[in-house]
Amino acid sequence: MSLTADLPLTPITTDPSLTFQLLSTAHFAAVAHSQQRRKSPSSPAYVQHPLHVAALLASPASSLHPNPPVEVLQAAMLHDVIEDTETTVQELRERFGDVVTNIVLECSDDKSLSKEARKQAQIDHSPHKSDEAKHVKLADKLSNLTDLMSAKGRPAGWSVQRIQEYFVWSKRVTDSCKHVNPGLGEKLDEIYRSGTFELGGKTYKCHPDCE
């Protein structure tokens, strides 16, 4: 007997191939990041981050809802594989095509640069990225900032100054992107204006200068 006999199931999409594409992409990301962990105290699997980025883009809060482009969701799930794993550009193109690969490349830092140079490059290049890459960048930052607001989500050992500097830098990156997705843009602005975090028994503003 079916457990849902009186409650008909809702198909995820009218095109089964899209469901396969998304699940295959999630699996690829999980395998690519299988040896990586997040830096928060519980050291969760890294893949939870790119999956969260994709989920944010598909969420009701996103201006892409209810029909986010499949390629954008795929790129969200894969946005760190070139930068942080052994995956090659050629492998990504052969598996996912030019559109997805090009979005991922737009979202990837140049690891030959210093950390500070990479951070400045994100600020400088953000206004000139494709709308698709801007969507992913917004969700990426929203996911990371949400983690930083929680003691369970942020990297162990980060000081108040380092946390706040990350929020200040993130705002400089996302301010030139948020017009493509007003829904996620408003979520970010709300965090910048009134978000707080606790550290050492005290409460601090996430962005010290944003009202």
pLDDT band at 13 (very low <50, low <70, confident <90, very high): low
Inform me whether the pLDDT recorded for 57 exceeds 60: yes
Does 6 reside within a domain? Answer: no
Q: What is the pTM of this model?
A: 0.93
> Which pLDDT value is given to residue 10?
62
Does 10 reside within a domain? Answer: no
Q: What is the CATH number of the domain that holds 21?
A: 1.10.3210.10
Query: What's the rounded mean pLDDT across residues 93-122?
Result: 96
Number of domains in the chain: 1
Q: For residue range 20-55, what is the model confidence (pLDDT) as tens digits?
A: 999 999 999 999 999 999 988 888 999 999 999 999
Q: What is the mean pLDDT of the chain?
A: 93
Does 4 reside within a domain? Answer: no
Q: Which residues are known catalytic residues?
A: 83-84
Does 98 reside within a domain? Answer: yes
Does 113 reside within a domain? Answer: yes
Does 50 reside within a domain? Answer: yes
Q: Residue 140's domain spans which residues?
A: 16-205
Does 8 reside within a domain? Answer: no
Does 5 reside within a domain? Answer: no
pLDDT band at 211 (very low <50, low <70, confident <90, very high): confident
Q: For residue range 59-68, what is the model confidence (pLDDT) as tens digits?
A: 999 999 999 9
> 14: exposed, middle or buried (C-beta count within 10 Å: 0-12, 13-18, 19+)?
exposed
Contacts made by residues 28-36, CB under 8 angstroms, sequence distance 24+? 28/77, 28/78, 28/81, 28/95, 29/77, 29/78, 29/81, 32/78, 32/81, 32/85, 32/86, 32/87, 33/80, 33/81, 33/84, 33/85, 36/84, 36/85
Q: For residue range 142-176, what is the model confidence (pLDDT) as tens digits?
A: 999 999 999 999 998 999 999 999 999 999 999 99
